[in-house]
Amino acid sequence: MNRRSFLQQSALSAAAVSALPLTGLASTNAKPSIRFAFMSDVHIKAGAIPEQGMQRAFRHVNAFKPKVDFILNGGDAIMDAMKATKAKVEEQWALWNKILAEENKLPIYHCIGNHDAWGWQMTEPEIKADPLYNKTWAVQQHQMPNRYYSFIKENWKFIVLDSAHENNGGYIAKVDPEQMQWLQKELTATDKEMHICIASHIPIVSFVSGFFFDKTEDNGDRKISRALLHTDSFTLTELFRNHPNIRCCLSGHIHLQDIVEYRGIHYYCNGAISGNWWGGAFKGFNPAYAIFEFYKDGSVKREMIEYDLYL
């Protein structure tokens, strides 16, 4: 039987494995302007568990009551394209599109995750020269207007960033110069009466980025990789100070959940549909997605929803 689980954590105990109630930012009893699902890190691949898991997750959110208006995919739709042959990537995208067509009837918007980008960890020159190399393939598969873009729902603007970038065979979390220039213009051009939500695959500010690894550096410092948290967090949070209508930032990537309030903005890291990459719970966090309610006054409410992976 499908169950709904409230797994909202406070910023000070965000990495705890026990489920704790948290009401988030919302302070109104009014009807929300927007209700949507943030579904991240599906990591679809061939196999009974991931295929049935994706089917059940999208079936679950499509049947959610009260009904959601749309889905925001937080990235890493497929298991991995960074180090996979073209045939293997084609297989993964085919599965994604097939299950999505069968199980989802809701409008869906997409972030690009690092695992959606093709060829970063491949050395063959023909792959680097292929027109589908990097993020072109993901943009095409998701039918995105660009690798970063914005859209408006009611009195909310959603700004979707491209946060993962190839870096010497690995990847780094940041906003590249071209995108930063666009972001600055986008924020400045937004009506001050309109609320802003920023979505990125990799967190800009996060508590659980420091809990991904089970160890610290040799000197005891917290181990936070440049692949787990935006390296330009200082720049971005300073930029955000000039735009007080930014209400929240949403992310996935870490497969853990938290809520952090910093300088009046709430940063939500929203777990993973695949949990421990289709191996159950990851550090105590079961496969889940987030339901967000955005209100006309700019307040926000998040509810973490578990779905039954194994039926």
Q: What is the CATH number of the domain that holds 129?
A: 3.60.21.10
Asked whether residue 167 is assigned to any structural domain, the reply reads yes
Confidence at 16, pLDDT banded by 50, 70, 90: very low
Residue 3 lies in a domain: no
**Six-digit token string for 178:** 């071209």
Helix axes 233-241, 177-189, angle to 10 degrees: 20
Q: Would 311 be classed as within a structural domain?
A: no
Q: How far apart are CA 99 and CA 169, in angstroms?
A: 31
pLDDT bin (cut points 50, 70, 90) of residue 25 is low
Strand partners, 198: 159, 249
Q: How confident is the model at residue 31 (pLDDT cuts 50, 70, 90)?
A: confident
Which one, of 72, 4, 3, 6, lies nearest residue 302 by Cα? 6
Q: Exposed (0-12), middle (13-18) or buried (19+): which is 308, by Cβ within 10 Å?
A: middle
CA distance 58 to 244: 34
Spatial distance between the Cα atoms of 258 and 269, rounded to a whole number of angstroms = 5
Kindly tell me if the per-residue pLDDT of 118 is higher than 90.
yes
Q: What domain range is 299 assigned to?
A: 11-306
Q: Mean pLDDT of all residues in the chain?
A: 91
Number of domains, the chain:
1
Q: Residue 239 has what pLDDT?
A: 98
Residue at token pair 């009807």: 31
Using DSSP bridges, classify how beta strands 34-39 and 70-73 pair: parallel, antiparallel or unpaired. Answer: parallel
Residues 6+ apart with CB under 8 A from 247: 25, 195, 196, 197, 265, 266, 294, 298, 299, 300
> Looking at the domain assignment, is residue 186 inside a domain?
yes
Residue 178: inside a domain, yes or no?
Answer: yes
Is 6 domain-assigned? no
Looking up tokens 């992976």 gives 309
Q: Is residue 289 part of a domain?
A: yes
| Any domain includes 283 | yes
Residue 27 has a pLDDT of: 52
What does the pLDDT average to over 105-132?
96
**Mean pLDDT, range 232-255, rounded to an integer:** 98
Q: Is the dihedral of CA 295, 298, 299, 301 positive or negative?
A: positive
Closest CA to 175 of 111, 118, 128, 123: 111
Closest to 306 measured CA to CA, from 272, 278, 276, 283? 272
Which residue's structure tokens are 């009837």?
A: 105
Nearest Cα neighbor of 151 from 36, 25, 302 is 36
**Cα–Cα dist 179/177, whole Å:** 5
What percentage of the chain carries pLDDT values higher than 70? 90
Residue type, 53: G
Lowest pLDDT segment from 12-16, 137-141, 148-152, 260-264: 12-16
Q: How far apart are CA 151 and CA 157, in angstroms?
A: 6
Q: What is the DSSP string of 36-78?
A: EEEE----B-SSHHHHHHHHHHHHHHHT-SSPPSEEEE-S--B
Task: Express as a percent the part of the chain with pLDDT over 90.
Answer: 86
pTM reported for the whole predicted model:
0.90
